[in-house]
C-alpha cells in the first residue's frame, strides 16, 4: 500500500491530478482508471469520482487489490418478470413511457440511462444492465400507464401476443387495480361516476354534464384512516381507467389529493389551503391480472414508499 498526505499547496487539486503528480500513475488515463475502479482511498473511504477535490491534510492511499465497487442500483425495482411480462415498481417523478411512442416497441441502446427524460421503460433496461444482461435485445411494449407523479406498479409486455392480450384486459376492465392516496378534508366511502373530457372549458381535463360527450369513468373510494383533522387516507379502486381519473374525481368532489398541483384550482378558489407535501400522495399499490399466455392469476402489492410514509406521519400531527 502506498500513501501520502495532501500538503497545503496541493489543496483543491483533483484526486486524479494529484495521483498522477505523486507518481501513482504514469498518465492521465491511468490516473482516472485508478480512481474510477475504486483503488484510491481518501481518509479511509474509496472515492470513484476523478474530479473529487482534496483538502489539506487528507490522507490518500493506493490499494491495488481493492475490489471494484458495485454499480449503484437503478431506482425502483422489478417485482416480476417472465418471458411475456415485466412488472416494475415505479418511483414517483418518472413517466411510464415517452408519450409519442405509445404502443410501439421501444428499443434502447446499451450503456448509461439516456440524457433525455428517463422513463419507466429505461428503468427496466437499467435493471437488466445492472444484472449483467443485454438491455437492447428484448422489446418492451406499453400496455398501460400511471401518472408521472404517481408511484407504484406498472406492467409491460415483452411480446406482441402479451401486448395484445394485456391491452385487451385493461380495455375490458379485467385487471385489478387499487391505489392508496391522501386527500384534503374529511370524506366517507363513496362511488364517483362522471364523463371525462380532455378540456372541461378552462384547459384542464375534467367532467362534463353533456351525456353525449366524454368517456364514462367510475371510481370507488374507501376510507382507511383520518389523518389528523385536515386529511384522509383512502383506498381507491378503478372500475375504469381514464387519464388522471382519480385526481380529477376527488378534486371535483372537493377533496383534491395532498400534493396536487394541477387539479387544485377549484379547491383554492373556494378558499381551501393546500397542505404541504414532498410529492403527490398517490400510490398504485395493487395490480392483478391473468397471465396473457398461461392464464395463471398474478397479483402484486407494493408497499408505500418511504417519502409517502413520512408525509403521512406529518399529516397525522396536524
Q: So which residues are the catalytic ones?
A: 147
- Would you say 211 and 316 are in contact if contact means Cβ atoms under 8 Å apart? no
- The set of residues, in sequence order, having a beta carbon less than 8 Å from that of 60 and lying 6+ positions away, is 3, 4, 5, 6, 15, 18, 19, 22, 40, 41, 42, 54
Helix, strand, coil percentages, rounded to 5, for the chain: 20, 30, 50
Write out the three cell numbers for 227.
Answer: 389523518
- Would you say 143 and 164 are in contact if contact means Cβ atoms under 8 Å apart? no
Calculate ∠ Cα 207-213-219, nearest 5°: 40
CA distance 275 to 119: 28
CA distance 88 to 153: 6
Amino acid at each position: 500500500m502506498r500513501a501520502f498526505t495532501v500538503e497545503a499547496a496541493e489543496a483543491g487539486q483533483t484526486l486524479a491530478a494529484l495521483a498522477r503528480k505523486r507518481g501513482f500513475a504514469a498518465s492521465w488515463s491511468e490516473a482516472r482508471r485508478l480512481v474510477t475502479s475504486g483503488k484510491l482511498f481518501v481518509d479511509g473511504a474509496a472515492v470513484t469520482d476523478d474530479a473529487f477535490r482534496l483538502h489539506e491534510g487528507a490522507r490518500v492511499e493506493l490499494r491495488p487489490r481493492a475490489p471494484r465497487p458495485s454499480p449503484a442500483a437503478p431506482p425502483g425495482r422489478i417485482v416480476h418478470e417472465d418471458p411475456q411480462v415485466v412488472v416494475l415498481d415505479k418511483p414517483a417523478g418518472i413517466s411510464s413511457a415517452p408519450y409519442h411512442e405509445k404502443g410501439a416497441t421501444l428499443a434502447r441502446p446499451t450503456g448509461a440511462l439516456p440524457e433525455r427524460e428517463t422513463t419507466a421503460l429505461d428503468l427496466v433496461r437499467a435493471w437488466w444492465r445492472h444484472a449483467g444482461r443485454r438491455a437492447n435485445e428484448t422489446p418492451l411494449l406499453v400496455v398501460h400507464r400511471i401518472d408521472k407523479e404517481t408511484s407504484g406498479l406498472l406492467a409491460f409486455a415483452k411480446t406482441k401476443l402479451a401486448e395484445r392480450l394485456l391491452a385487451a384486459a385493461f380495455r375490458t376492465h379485467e385487471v385489478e387495480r387499487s391505489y392508496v392516496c391522501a386527500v384534503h378534508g374529511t370524506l366517507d366511502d363513496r362511488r364517483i361516476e362522471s364523463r371525462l373530457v380532455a378540456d372541461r372549458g378552462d384547459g384542464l381535463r375534467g367532467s362534463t354534464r353533456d351525456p353525449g360527450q366524454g368517456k364514462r369513468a367510475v371510481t370507488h373510494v374507501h376510507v382507511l384512516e383520518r389523518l389528523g383533522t385536515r386529511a384522509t387516507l383512502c383506498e381507491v379502486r378503478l372500475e375504469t381507467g381514464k387519464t388522471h381519473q382519480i385526481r380529477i374525481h376527488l378534486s371535483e368532489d372537493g377533496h383534491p389529493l395532498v400534493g396536487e398541483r394541477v387539479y387544485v384550482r377549484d379547491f383554492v378558489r373556494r378558499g381551501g389551503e393546500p397542505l404541504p407535501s414532498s410529492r403527490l400522495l398517490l400510490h398504485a399499490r395493487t395490480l392483478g391480472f391473468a397471465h396473457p399466455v398461461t392464464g395463471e392469476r398474478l397479483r402484486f402489492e407494493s408497499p408505500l414508499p418511504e417519502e409517502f410514509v413520512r408525509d403521512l406521519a406529518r399529516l397525522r400531527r396536524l
